[in-house]
């Protein structure tokens, strides 16, 4: 029996040319950046410059597979630089979600 082709599995987001987001968090991170931009939290040129710094730091061998990791890091950079949230606040919230996942029974909605 051959392994299922992930591209043919249902509910994986894709368009005519293939998957759009590989994992749900990537779509959320993408949408967050657009929404914060739409709210006037930063200019799109600021976004491009910040993302460019992250991509440059990733080095010449970066093959694009970790693109949304850089995207998310850029988002955190800008959110902290613009003082929309502090770094410590983000870290604490991340731990709170991790705890919530650990204590929530399988199949139940995860809540803080």
Partner 1 sequence: MALRVKALESLMVEKGLVDPAALDAIVDHFEHKVGPRNGARVVAKAWSDPAYKARLMEDATSAIAELGYAGGQGDHMVVVENTPTVHNLVVCTLCSCYPWPVLGLPPVWYKSAPYRSRAVIDPRGVIGEFGVKLPDEVEVRVWDSTAEIRYLVLPERPAGREGLSEDELAALVTRNGMIGTARL
Interface residue list for partner 1 (CB under 8 A): 13-18, 20-21, 23-25, 27-32, 34-39, 41, 44-45, 47-49, 51-52, 55, 58-65, 67-69, 72, 75-76, 79, 84-85, 89-91, 93-94, 96-98, 101, 112
CB 1 → partner 1: shortest distance, Å? 29
**Integer angstrom CA distances of residue 56 from 22, 59, 86:** 23, 6, 24
Pick from 110, 19, 30: nearest CA to 69: 30
Closest CA to 51 of 75, 28, 32, 31: 75
Least distance from partner 1 to the Cβ atom of residue 105, Å: 18
- Nearest-approach distance from CB 106 to partner 1, in angstroms: 16
Choose between 9 and 65: whose C-beta lies nearer to partner 1. 65
Q: How far is the CB of 88 from partner 1 (least distance, A)?
A: 11
Distances (CA, A) of 87 to 20, 53, 100: 29, 18, 20
Residue whose CB is less far from partner 1, 1 or 112: 112
């Amino acid at each position: 029996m051959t392994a299922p082709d992930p591209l043919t599995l249902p509910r994986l987001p894709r368009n005519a040319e293939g998957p759009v987001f590989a994992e749900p968090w990537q779509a959320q991170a993408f949408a967050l950046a657009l929404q914060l931009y739409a709210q006037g939290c930063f200019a799109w040129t600021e976004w491009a410059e910040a993302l460019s710094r992250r991509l440059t730091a990733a080095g010449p061998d970066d093959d694009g597979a970790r693109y949304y990791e850089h995207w998310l890091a850029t988002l955190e950079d800008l959110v902290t630089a613009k003082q929309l949230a502090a770094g410590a606040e983000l870290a604490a919230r991340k731990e709170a979600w991790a705890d919530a996942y650990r204590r929530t029974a399988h199949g139940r909605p995860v809540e803080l």
